[in-house]
Amino acid sequence: MSDCIFCRIIKGEIPSDTVYENESVKVFKDINPVAPVHLIIVPKIHINDTEDINDQNKSAVAECLNAVKVAAELAGVEKSGYRLISNYGSDGGQTVNHLHFHLIGGIKMKEGLI
C-alpha cells in the first residue's frame, strides 16, 4: 500500500534503524521507544491487522514470530525477558494499519496492563 508508513519503510523510502531483516520480515527500532529496547517487527507483505490473517498470509505471520527470537537475542533481552504486543483497532491502540509486533524490554515491567 503506497500510503502505509511500514510499507514505505520496508521499501526503503523512509529510513529506519534496522536490527534484522530477511526475505519475509523487517525488524527496526521504534522512533518513540517506551523502553530501552523497543523494536517493531513487521511482515514485508501488507496485512492490515490480526483480523486479516488468513491461509494465504499466515506464513508471513509465522515468520514474524520466528524473528522475535532473533530480535530478542540481537537486543540482548532473550534471557532477561521482554513483552511482545500487537495492537488491534483504535481501542486497542493500533495507530498503523499494517500488522506489527512491538518487542519491548530492557527494563523490569509491571504485571498486568502496561
pLDDT of 47-92, one tens digit each?
A: 999 999 999 999 999 999 999 999 999 999 999 999 999 998 888 8
DSSP the chain: -TT-HHHHHHHTSS---EEEE-SSEEEEE-SS-SSSEEEEEEESS---SGGG--TTTHHHHHHHHHHHHHHHHHHT-TTT-EEEE---TTTTT--SSS--EEEEESSPPPSS--
Catalytic residue among 38, 46, 98, 100, which? 100
The full set of domains in the chain, from first to last, is 5-105 (3.30.428.10)
pLDDT at 33 over 70: yes
Q: What average pLDDT does the chain have?
A: 93
This prediction's pTM? 0.92
Is 98 part of the annotated catalytic residue set? Answer: no
